[in-house]
Structure 1
Amino acid sequence: MKRSSSGTRTPKPAVFVLGFLFILVGIFGILYNPSNSLTETLTWKVSEAGILSFSEREGSVFTIQKIEDLYSPENPDTLKLISFESRGDKVQALLRVPANASSSSPGVILLPGAGVSKEGEQGLAVELSKMGYATLTLDQRNQGSINVERDLELFRADLEPVEYLMVYDVLKAADVLASQPEIDPERLAVLGESNGGKFAIIACALDPSLKGVIGISTSGYGTEEIDPASVTDSEAYRFYLSIDPDTYLNALPPSKFVMIHSFNDTIISHELALRTFAIAEEPKAMYNTTEETHGYTASMRPYLEKELALILS
């Protein structure tokens, strides 16, 4: 079922919004201690409006190795293990290329939900391959889990929060995917589930070369609904804005924003997803399913196939 893009917005109290933010921390938070002794020359900054930005990215450095497809051996796809450099670290990813792919194949950066590895996301990668899309599936830092309180401490100390590193990893992944000989660098999109959807939205807003973003079972935090006049800790408020996908929605166009969400999602309520969708600008689309679960389901496939065809045509 498709919801029209003229959905009404339901304001939520600030206390509820921040409460939801810290619930997510409780669900997904795993303490991560970055070294911050990074070798790649890069600066990052956050504007007064809470917008994250990076200096120009350096060229991609990566290794690539063809491997056996243990996850879908019956398919004739080509599977490659890629290790690429990002902010002084090595990020591992699986590149799945459909059989008979040419240099004009569209590509999708695939971001799993928290706790899910690149291997665990190959079921969806295979579905996308059947639709004709190559995928680069990342092992996100902390497997997509976040620790907002720890990142706020880093931010206050002028050290790079892990969530910023995770956004930058997606941008580097786009560079790596675009450089592959089977891929059309002009036809790239990003797709994320749950926490992966949050990073997908921010990365797409920061990289205009991406044609669109699809978020499955995800939402923003609603930080923009807090009255700035009521804020007593301006630095914390600016940090929360910088990690909230809702902050970046007006920077997405002309890239398309698509949400797919279950009315009965067991982790992120449909109401929260609807709020994020309501404040997004056109072009956008939202589709709803009914399963009592969280993440991609087979009933979402027709919507996913339709929207990817529109985004990457």
Structure 2
Amino acid sequence: MAAEVSQTLELERATAAHLPQIRRFLQQVRRRHVDFGAEDLPGLVDRAHFWLAQEGERLVGLLCVQVETRPTTLPPTAPTRGYVRAAAVAHGYSPAPLLAALLQRVEGELRAAGNVPAYQLMAYGSAPWLLAGLLAGDFTQVDSIQFYQLTSLQRRPLPEPPPQVAQLAPAHAEQMADLAVLDAAAFEPLWHFSRQDLLELLMRSRLQVALYQGELAGYSALSSNSEREMQLARLAVHPRFQGQGIGRQLLWDSIAHARQSGCHVLALNTQTSNRRSQDLYRRSGFQAVGTAIPVLVRLVR
């Protein structure tokens, strides 16, 4: 049975001096959640809320929360968002009390900063130990993410294209501010993409915009996961233009491009609460794969 947090456990803020120890720990520990590349670690230690749990000289747990630069398009009443970028717990230690203790230190830093009225911390409970640990730290499940795939694209005949109700065109950098406004209208604050998010998406994806009577009505983002698989990273239609077939047009365009590119599998994910998008994907031949991943949030005031 895993031990409770020991009275000899020391919690301390990570510094650059801890980097070698953190790297070794993340390579060795089995219960780990890491949402960044190795090259990002120094920057997170320097700028994010990165806390360690030490038993003597032994590192036994860590938690990293990164608060985003608040987008101007985030609604004024919405809390500033923060993301659990890393969590890890050594064998023999209970995730629930250890992560809860680390989370208290992160929250203390956030409250001490006093920059905004509230923060909304977000994490994916992709493993049972992580889910249990975050729930013990007063996170609440608000949704879940379901993954879908459209397989055998090279053998699958394309259906008839939907009516061309909108003009589709490649996106340009100067459109990102307007796209961020569209995105804020299409998604709840938890899922909103900022202008910077969209610029990064533009750099790594095929970003298409839908113009309806000269107005930006929607967009799609298609990126490559491998030689055989592509990812529909985003599909959004402004609420004013929903129900007219623009989403179906953007989806068909993405499927056609993936097939023409030699892709065999087109993957995507969406919230299980978004019934409208799930119906659209299922009607287009996508099938749910794997188990839905819980989405957890914690409000810090």
Q: TM-score under structure 2 normalisation?
A: 0.29
Q: TM-score under structure 1 normalisation?
A: 0.28
Greater percentage in strand: 2
